[in-house]
Amino acid sequence: MGPLSDIRVVELGQLIAGPFCAQLFGDLGANVIKIEPPKTGDPMRQWGAGDPPVWWEVIARNKRSVAADLRTPEGQEIARRLIATADVLIENFRPGTLEKWNLAPADLCAANPRLIVVRVSGYGQTGPYSTRAGFGGIGEAMGGWRALVGTADRPPSRLGVSIGDSLAGTYGCLGALAALHEREKSGRGQVVDVSLFESVLQVMEGLVPEYAAAGHVRVRSGSILKGIAPSNVYPCSDGELLIAGNQDAIFRRLATAMGQPELGEDPRFATHVARGQNQALLDEMIANWTRGQTVAAVEKLMEEYAVPAGRMFAARDMLADPHFAAREAIVSVETKHHGTLPMQGVFPRLSRTPGGVRAAAPVTVGADTDALLGEVGYDAAALADLKQRGIV
């Protein structure tokens, strides 16, 4: 099931960026083999809420688990045999780690010339910072994201999710798909070098050229983007609603919905530039109007007048919302520890060969070790020996 059902992926990563990259592959149908340290497994098994934590159920879905101690020659041989059968290898260790483990990509590609190696790291495989340790938050800071989150009178904030890691995992998957396409012509694999900081930098819009060309420095601006108005979260009598009327025709419709159509022709608000110059005043006027009404009432008006608006959704709202249900944006997965567990579905959607959640996350570390190592030449006696010595 899925467009990548003929692709075999070996994941050596841990925590978020590498495993998220492999999750995307698995969601789209790839056969994903995750190699974990014996006994302890990926630290993600212990992250998040729940007993045991449920985040693992998302990031490890559609994967099979093999236990192997990559710090030992025997564990390295296990990895080499599995990688020899793979189309894609994903790793997110500090640069030099694979080489230290006798798993240098050059050697792996010599044995498997069609292999594509996705290497995710904090700073990339080259450059003066390449050997530094780097987590997603550091990539967010260096890439420019953190400096813009929050309000100007307080230190930078962070988004409530690990966006730097997820962006890097997404770009890793994108790069691997491009390399798979190129392989159809050349017959050869290659290395995909993904850094956390560059993955964040890629989504920073005009941050760098605006400074270079005009000396413009973006700053933290709280719930607004400076000069983009109206686009803010406005208070209602029973909650809050985000309204985005920052386009001339849309703003005129918003003004009419507010019962103040004259605002659409007011020189202070009639154009994009004028609204940006009078952003604070305009936000105050809209807030004064929304305060006297419920979220539902304002939302209904915005829908009637075709003004983009949205509630602040939490998990409970997503689970109850009919649009989430109609789109199957949240799917139910049968798990051993948590029963039927709702989680985000597979995106993007393909009309003819959609992906899906085919299997729950592996419950135990190395749940598929015997079966998968049997496929690459290990007999029962060899497996028993490796287990006795704690290598698998």
Beta strands 330-335 and 339-344 are antiparallel
**ω before 322 within 30° of 0 (cis)?**
no
Rounded CA-CA distance 230/241 in Å is 13
Rounded CA-CA distance 347/356 in Å is 9
3-state secondary structure of 208: helix
Rounded CA-CA distance 53/342 in Å is 14
Q: What would the DSSP string read from start to end of 126-174?
A: SSTTTTS---HHHHHHHTTSGGGSS-TTS-----SS-HHHHHHHHHHHH
Rounded CA-CA distance 250/294 in Å is 21
Residue for token pair 């579905």: 345
Rounded CA-CA distance 144/163 in Å is 13
Rounded CA-CA distance 95/359 in Å is 32
Catalytic choice (42, 69, 87, 165): 165
Rounded CA-CA distance 329/55 in Å is 17
- Asked about 165 being catalytic, the answer comes back as yes
Rounded CA-CA distance 62/128 in Å is 37
List beta partners, residue 244: 231
**ω before 52 within 30° of 0 (cis)?**
yes
Which residues belong to the active site? 165
